[in-house]
């Protein structure tokens, strides 16, 4: 439940006479809203007010508070907490699912992810899980994506080997859903939002998620992967791993798409974003942005020329 005008104005320590206007940000009455404040003829300002109704909402709030305490500059600042709601800084920007990314903003997003992955904080979900717990052995149901037995069979060995490399890759604090829809872009600037899935996880999945949904061609994605590897002082081979792990991440995302479509029924904007992301993911995981032999083997099996 969202606060009323008086409670919100008091929580933000604004003058009691401040007027409040509300703008819903989706079709659901229980979703986040933008609140505008004005006092007399002075210019207005706004904040994002988010109800804390689910585990993801509470995780987002806890992570946002931890990021603010760590001085992380690429996320909205939490401004006030109440009984079942959070007020956070409003950040202007667009996602790459809405428009062509503004100049230098994909580079800023990669720098923001590299900065996030350098934080030594332990907040969010999955910290009790090992990498093997997060990615248990078992055949991926590729048949649900329309792959035939002749395609699935040759892909099984390389996918199993890729999983082993994933378990040995850098794990730590991650955004957990760093798709283009969760990164607001402006010229030379990027802000990470929606930390509902943040916590312990594979850091290169964050990078792959952004690169596969931002709408860039393979060569551009490869250069951005190089930028991340340099920023994190990783071995140059991390560029090929980001491409390889992108196939694993992308297949996992496409397998969850039908369920997410059902949850988005009635929200045309969200359905459009899901469809756009799915199209980009499928195109991206087919197009090599690295030279790892396992990535080549998986692509040759699933998408033979």
266 in the same domain as 148: yes
What is the reported pTM? 0.94
d(CA 290, CA 300): 14
40 in the same domain as 131: no
Looking up residue 64, the CATH number of its domain turns out to be 3.30.200
Q: What percent of the chain has pLDDT over 90?
A: 82
23 in the same domain as 160: no
Number of domains, the chain: 2
Q: Which residue has the higher pLDDT, 31 or 60?
A: 60
Distance of CA 71 to the CA centre of its chain: 20
In a domain, 100, yes or no: no
Q: Residue 228 corresponds to which tokens in the numbers above?
A: 């991340």
pLDDT level of residue 230 (50, 70, 90 thresholds): very high
| Domain closes at, from 45, 61, 89 | 89
Looking at residue 142, its pLDDT comes to 96
Looking at residue 41, its pLDDT comes to 53
Helices (H), the chain: 5-11, 55-69, 105-117, 131-134, 149-167, 203-213, 218-231, 238-263, 268-286, 293-302
Q: Give the three-state DSSP class for 296.
A: helix
Lowest average pLDDT, out of 137-141, 207-211, 282-286, goes to: 137-141
pLDDT at 30 over 90: no
What average pLDDT does range 196-205 have in this prediction?
A: 98
199 in the same domain as 57: no
pLDDT at 204 over 80: yes
Looking up residue 140, the CATH number of its domain turns out to be 3.90.1200.10
Kindly give, in sequence order, each residue whose CB lies less than 8 Å from that of residue 17, ignoring residues fewer than 6 positions away.
39, 40
Compute the radius of gyration of the chain from its Cα atoms.
Answer: 21
Domain that holds residue 151: 105-302
82 in the same domain as 142: no
In a domain, 235, yes or no: yes
220 in the same domain as 82: no
């Amino acid at each position: 439940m969202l606060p009323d005008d008086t409670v919100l104005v008091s929580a933000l320590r604004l003058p009691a006479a401040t007027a409040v206007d509300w703008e819903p940000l989706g079709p659901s009455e229980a979703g986040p809203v933008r609140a505008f404040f004005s006092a007399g003829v002075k210019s207005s300002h706004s904040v994002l007010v988010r109800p804390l109704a689910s585990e993801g909402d509470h995780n987002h709030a806890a992570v946002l508070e931890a990021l603010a305490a760590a001085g992380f500059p690429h996320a909205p600042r939490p401004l006030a907490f109440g009984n079942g709601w959070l007020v956070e800084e409003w950040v202007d920007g667009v996602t790459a699912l809405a428009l062509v990314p503004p100049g230098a903003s994909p580079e800023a997003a990669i720098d923001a992810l590299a900065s996030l992955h350098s934080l030594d904080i332990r907040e969010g979900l999955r910290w009790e899980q090992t990498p093997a717990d997060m990615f248990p052995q078992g055949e991926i149901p590729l048949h649900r994506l329309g792959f035939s037995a002749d395609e699935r069979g040759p892909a099984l060995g390389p996918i199993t080997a890729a999983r082993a490399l994933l378990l040995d890759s850098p794990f730590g604090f991650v955004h957990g859903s760093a798709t283009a829809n969760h990164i607001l872009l402006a010229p030379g600037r990027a802000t990470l939002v929606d930390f509902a899935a943040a916590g312990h996880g594979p850091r290169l999945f964050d990078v792959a998620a952004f690169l596969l949904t931002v709408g860039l061609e393979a060569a551009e994605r490869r250069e951005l992967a190089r930028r991340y590897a340099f920023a994190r002082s990783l071995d140059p081979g991390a560029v090929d791993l980001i491409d390889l792990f992108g196939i694993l991440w992308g297949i996992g995302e496409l397998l969850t798409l039908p369920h997410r479509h059902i949850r988005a029924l009635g929200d045309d904007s969200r359905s459009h974003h899901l469809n756009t992301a799915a199209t980009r993911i499928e195109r991206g995981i087919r197009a090599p942005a690295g030279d790892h032999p396992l990535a080549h083997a998986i692509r040759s099996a699933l998408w033979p020329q």
